[in-house]
Structure formats: structure tokens, C-alpha cells
Structure 1
Amino acid sequence: MKFGTKLIHNGNEIDPTTGSLSIPIYQTSTFHQFDIEKFGKYDYARSGNPTREALENTIAQLENGVKGFAFSSGMAAISSVLSLFSAGDHIIICEDVYGGTFRIATKVLNRFGIEFTFVDASNLQAIESALKLNTKGLYLETPSNPLLKITDLNGAIKIAKMNDVIVIVDNSFLSPYFQKPLDLGADIVVHSATKFIAGHSDVIGGLAVVKSEELAKDLYTIQNSFGAILGPQDCWLTLRGLKTLKVRMDVYEQTATKLAGWLQEQEEVEEVYYPGLKNHPGHSVHFDQATGGGAVLSFTLKTLEQTTRFLQSVENVAVAVSLGGVETIVSYPVKMSHAAIPKDVRERLGVKDTLIRVSVGLEDIEDLISSFQKALSL
């Protein structure tokens, strides 16, 4: 079964009780037990809910994993996954990482005795050099946020497996449509479901999918203990959004490719970052492990004044935090997604004050280019 069909027909799309083509929203906190000696499948909604289960089963199938988990936010998913590790463990993280992930590592989990090392994961030697005797995890984003750096997943996973290291991949930028890290050997995939999975800027949610029954058991214990679960209404919205993932991502990629190419030709633009461009570092590696360039690109302008004018004047887009909606979202990483990262670290990583990130939406490309051209010419 191909991916587009699997989005619609995966065994979780029909309510088994009524035949409804939309899984009901089970808006309940608890479930009656008909036999006190033998409880039913559900007892308390933190531990399990039929609407959430349908979403969790669906994302597990789409990522080719053993078990899926739905959380109250992307950061709840990431934090829960990182809580699989214990005091004294060492985790290697790609340095060009989402600011929230940087914050949970450096402000929270380090207080519990978990050690983190940030490396340029696009350089496999840097990953290998960071290994320690107590290294237990490798956390990757590819493409990374916001510079779209590419990590060779096959190479990184090979290094990790030789050293008995768990590999976690944040797949939010590409979704399981364009990339399946578990198929490449990763152990856990995480998503901000807020982004392309739900896809309509109306849900805050997170997802994780694991490759083994052992990890599934451990992560369920954390999910049930913390209780940071996604509510049934948001699970239903996410299931609805998932059904159009393929068609949305196809259009996004076509538009992003055209916009990135156009931006490269503009004299006001200094640099364009997009995996779909043939001159993007890691382009060939990316297309060895992914089937598309995705919807996210970044670019830098020559001056801070130009950057400010662009952000204040660009029309027919949302200037906002986040990405993955049907509307084009223009973000300013230094004050939004990466504000939690100290300025000196941002600058060392290349996250400049003149960097703009774009999540392409469903607008016509002609209108999008016209809006960008007008904002750039001011």
C-alpha cells in the first residue's frame, strides 16, 4: 500500500462500534468497568483513550514503528523521550537544534545528572569524536533547524550501533512522507505534531514512535507517569489533518523549490538554505535518505535593516512562531525558535540576526514571490 492510501486506510479510520468514517472524540476522563475482576481495555483516560489510540496507532504505521505515543506538545514528546535516560548518561546532540530542545537539555535535564555534548552532526567524525564510555544517546535533526544542515543518517546510525547508543531523530521538518528514520535504523522518531502532521495551525501536540517493544514499554511508563498526553479533541484534529499530509507536502515542496530558486537570484539575498537546491551542502546525502526537499527554507539578507524592513512589510503571509500550516509562515529565529540559545552560541552556529526562516504554505507561488519581491525592494 502506498503512502497516500495508507494515510486514509490504515485500520484506524473507521469506528468499530458504529462504522463512522471519523473516529469519535471520546471526551471522557474515565470508563465504567463491567467486571470488577477483569477490567476493560480502558480505565482512566491518562492511561489510554480510544481517540488517542487511533492517532498513536496511525503514526506508528506511517513511521513503520512498533508503537506510537501522543503528547500534549512537541516539547512534551521530546522531554519524555529524553527522560528515558538516567543520571550519569551522556547524550550527543546536533548543535544546530531547535531552541526548545537546547533549553530542556541545558536548563532542566542537566540538573538531573544527564550530560550533553553539542556537535556538528553533519560531520560524522565530530559525532565519533564526542563518544564517551557513558554515551547512551544520539539526538539528531535532519534537516536541522533553522539552517537545514544535513546529517548522514546511515553513517551516524552505524556509528551509534557500533557503540550501543540509542538514536533519536526529530522528523518534524519532513514528516514520514518524505523521510522514515526508523527504516534507516534509528530507534525513536519524534515530531512536533503542531507542524506538518496536524498541518492547520490549530493544534499543539507531539508524537513519538519507537522501534522496539522494550522502548515502547519504557516510554509508556514515562507517558503514563508524567501524564503529558494529547487530549481527545486535539487527537481528532490531528487525525483529520494527517489525511491530507501527502497532498499538502507535495504542493509545499513544489512551491519551496521555486521560491528558493527565485531567492537565490535576488541581489538583496546573501545566502539561501534549502535541501532541494543542488548547491545545498549535503544535497546528495539528503536525497539518499529522503524523497523530497520539504517545505522549510531559510535565507539571509545583507543587513539587519533590510531584515527588519522585510519582516515588518511582507504581505499575505504570517510573521509568526512555528511552521507547517497551510499559510506561509515567516519566522525570525533569533527572536523566536532560537531565542533560548545564547547569542554567542547562535552566532557561532551561523544563526545570524539577518536570518529569516520560511515555512511555505498553499498560496500560489506567483503571489508569494510578488509579496517577497515587494518586501525586499523597500
Structure 2
Amino acid sequence: MTDKNKAITPETMLAQALGALDPAYRSVIPGIYPGTTYEREADGSYPTGRVYSRDHNPNYEQPEELLRTLEGGAKALLFSSGMSAALAVVQALRPGDHMIAPKVMYWSFRNWLLTVGKEWGLEISFVPNGDIAALEAAVIPGKTKLLWLETPANPTWVVDDIAEWARVAKEAGAHLAVDNTVATPLLTNPLKLGADIVMHSATKYLNGHTDVLAGALITAKEDDFWARVRVNRNAGGAIPGPFEAWLLLRGMRTLHLRVARASENAMAIARHFDGAKGIRAVLYPGLESHEGHKIAARQMTGGFGGMMSLCIDGGAEAAMAVAARLKLFKRATSLGGIESLVEHRASIEGEGTPCPPDLLRLSIGIESADDLINDIDQALEGRKS
């Protein structure tokens, strides 16, 4: 017998996009609303509550509400990209404020913090991933206003304890923002672990089809800081187009299927190559040998995601040669799509990268795990010969 009072699962929320129908024609798929402005009544009021498409387009509302529900937040906002979402948070700080971030994180955002962020007047400290003592020591009483965390951290997949970061943030009187792109709302809910804001590069797993640029933020509460974030988005125009928002919602409806398959494939690949000849290290939090496995097992439910890295014996040249011999993996930037990708991150990030030179980052797709394993095997065998 089913429990009629049991909450609807995330899988059903996603598949039905919360069950909303198109209000005009009762279509089970929402329409696309390209209009940029809305007519007032004669008395100057807006009968639909919408003023201008920059912050009132109907195509934003359904994916925002779905993300808010999945993450357990108070409000959500869509953005034109993951970077624009992250920058909206940082730019809600005041010049002279201090923020803390991990040394290993999304390179483009880290690079922005090191250049534009410092020029803009932010004081920024980078701490070793997984080191709570270093995090605590980096806090400047009265000045630290934001802790930014990415876990698992791209591309070494170090796992940080979100609840511990939340504790440090609370004690410092700061906000904690967590990049949840890799874990997705299906595997980790940072707000439930004490975070204040969750960020997603929706280009990645949320959309999942490598055809949309988008970002998202979800907040635990609508405070003054969130109000500044909203102003940054609306005034700056960092919004997706209605068609991109529509495509994002379409992609999210299969998120649970894609994440489950990618996680299953990644685990199979990690186990196959863990300790294999020609591999210096397999970096995947699902492996019990991974130093962050216990934390990952505690805060990630239902799997460990589809991202992993292989460190190849022989250094950068050997790693590049293996990547060149792969046939199924596409040598391309990005992650979270249905197709598997490979990238030699150190050469992409360039000088100053914390990425090991022998590391190949793998975004595992939804193909056959056996086919992907065979592809890596043949690439490694070619290197050895």
C-alpha cells in the first residue's frame, strides 16, 4: 500500500517539472514567451505582476521554482551563465570586504577573483581544500563576509565538509555560498547542511545536453544580502533568453536519469582503473581509498557524481598522449553532458594552476561503461607500446 502522505520524490518533481501546465492552453509542455515588455492597465497597474522581461519572464519562473524546491530554499534566480551567477554573489560584497575560497576550484572563477576581484577592492584568501584549521585561521574578524566553497572541487575532486564550513561562516558572521554544480541537488543539498546560498552552472548537469548557457542561485532566506544579489542580476541584465530557459527546463526533466547513469558509469571506471598499471592515481570520491570518501558518503546521497580524474604515469606529455588516443571521449571543455569528455586541465589553465600536470579530467556521460573502459584501456596500451 502506498503512503498518500509521503512527500513527492525529486525524481517525480523533475519528470513532471512540478506538474505545472501552460496557463493559456493547458499544454503539459510550457510555451516560449519571447516578449520583452508587458502592457499596463489604464490606472498604471500591471495585472499579471510583470513589468519587463529582464526579471519577469514566465520562462524563468518554472525552472526557478523547480530548483528552489529541489534545494529546499526560499528563492531561486536564473542567470545567463554559471559565472554570472557566481559574480552576482561576489559583487554583493562591498569593496574592502574579505572573502575566503579554496585553492582548488573552478579555474575561471578563481582567475577572476585573482585579477578583477582584487582590482575591484576585495580582499581574498585562498585556503587548502579539506583543511578546516586553515579556514578558521583565514577568518578576519569583522571583515570576512563571504566563504565560497566548491565540493567536490574541480578538477581534483577534493571533498570538503559543508557543515564545518557553515559553522565557520556562522561564527564569523559571514555568508557561505556553495558551488553545487558537480553534485547537483540530487546528490547534495548544501542549504540543509547550513549553507546560505547554492550556485549552479546550469550549463552542466542541470541542462545536460551541451546546448545551453545558464546559471542559477538558490538562497536559504531572503535577507539583505540576497536583495543585493537580485539587484546585481536585474540591473546587470545577467539573464538567459526565454528559449534558453525553456531548454534548461526541458533538460532538467531527465536530470535524475542522467545523474544516476553517469554516477554508475564513473564508479565502474574508477574501480576498473584504481591501481591499474600506467595510472598513478584515480581521483574519485566514490572510492573508499579517496581521502574525502567518508565526508562524501555522509553528505552525498544516491551516488558520487559523474566527474573524476586520472593521473597518468609519465607526466604531462604522457597524459596528453593518452588523451589524443581516446576515440569515444571528446577532447573538449565543459562537463555534465550526456557525452563523455576528456581534458588536460593544466595546459588549459596555464601558469599558476594548482592542477597536477599528469591529470586528465573526465566528464563521464551516459554511454556504456564497458565501451568507455575499453576506450581508456586502448589509449593506455598505445602509450605503453
Partners of 1:248 and 1:186 lie apart in 2 by: 26
Q: SS in structure 1 opposite 2:73? A: coil
Match for residue 302 of structure 1? 313
Equivalent residues of 1:55, 1:239 under 8 A apart: yes
Residue of structure 2 in register with 1:286 after alignment: 296
Cα distance, 1:110 vs structure 2 = 1.3
Per-residue deviation, 1:12 = 6.1
Whole-angstrom distance in 2 between the partners of 1:11 and 1:266? 45
Residue 99 of structure 1 corresponds to 107
Q: CA deviation at 1:318?
A: 1.1
Counterpart CA distance in 2 for 1:189 and 1:109 is 20
Give the alignment partner of residue 240 of structure 1, picking from 241, 250, 271.
250
Deviation for aligned residue 1:83: 0.9
CA contact 2:99–2:144 (8 Å) conserved in 1: yes
Match of 1:42 in 2: 50
What is the alpha-carbon distance in structure 2 between the residues aligned to residue 353 and residue 11 of structure 1?
Answer: 44
1:78 aligned partner: 86
> Matched residues in 2 for 1:189 and 1:259: separation?
29
2:22 equivalent in structure 1 = 15
Aligned equivalents of 2:69, 2:16: Cα separation in 1: 11
The alignment yields a C-alpha RMSD, in angstroms, of: 1.3
| 3-state SS of 2:53 partner | coil
Q: Displacement of 1:36 after TM fit?
A: 4.0
Q: Which residue of 1 aligns with 2:375?
A: 371
Tell me the SS of whatever aligns to 2:304. coil
Mapped contact 1:12–1:58 kept (Cα < 8 A): no
Asked if residue 358 in structure 1 is aligned to residue 365 in structure 2, the reply is: no
C-alpha distance in 2 between matches for 1:372 and 1:113? 46
Task: Structure 1: give runs of 5+ residues left out of the alignment.
Answer: none
Q: 1: distance between equivalents of 2:192 and 2:42? A: 42
Name the aligned partner's letter for residue 89 of structure 2: V
Output the CA distance in 2 between the equivalents of 1:19 and 1:216.
34
- Structure 2 unaligned residues grouped into runs of 5+: 1-7
Task: State the 1:17 CA deviation.
Answer: 2.5
Give the aligned residue type for 1:6.
M
CA distance in 2, matches of 1:121, 1:353: 18
- Is it true that 1:251 corresponds to 2:261 in the alignment? yes
CA distance in 2, matches of 1:367, 1:29: 47
Distance 2:171 2:75 in 1: 25
Mapping 1:29-178, distance limit 5 Å = 29-40=36-47, 41-133=49-141, 134-178=143-187
| Aligned residue type for 1:330 | V
Q: Which amino acid aligns with 1:317?
A: F
Q: Conserved in 1, the CA contact under 8 Å of 2:88 and 2:232?
A: yes
Matched, 1:217 2:227: yes
CA contact (8 A) 1:331 1:356 kept: yes
State whether residues 189 and 210 of structure 1, in contact with CA within 8 Å, keep that contact through their aligned partners in structure 2: yes
Match of 1:262 in 2: 272
SS in 2 for 1:356: strand
Aligned to 1:274: 284
Deviation, 1:10, is 5.2
Alignment TM-score, normalising by the size of structure 2: 0.93
Q: CA deviation at 1:47?
A: 2.2
CA distance in 2, matches of 1:52, 1:148: 31
In structure 1, give the amino acid aligned to 2:71: E
For the Cα contact (< 8 Å) 1:140–1:168, is it kept in 2? yes
Contact conserved, 1:12 with 1:54, CA < 8 A, in 2? no
Identity level (%)? 32
Aligned length: 370
User: Which consecutive segments of 4 or more residues in structure 1 shift more than 6 A?
Assistant: none
Q: Is the Cα contact below 8 Å between 2:17 and 2:253 reproduced in 1?
A: no
CA displacement, residues 172-215 of structure 1 (integer Å, 9 cap, x when unaligned): 00100000001111000001001000001111111111111124
Q: Does 1:335 align with 2:335?
A: no
Deviation at 1:153, TM superposition (A): 0.9
- Partner SS state of residue 370, structure 1: helix
* Aligned with residue 336 of structure 2, among 324, 331, 338: 324
In 1, Cα distance between the equivalents of 2:18 and 2:361?
A: 37
Question: 2:17 touches 2:249 (CA, 8 Å); kept in 1?
Answer: no
Equivalent-residue separation in structure 2 for 1:212 and 1:117 (angstroms): 26
8 Å Cα contact 1:199/1:245 also seen in 2: yes
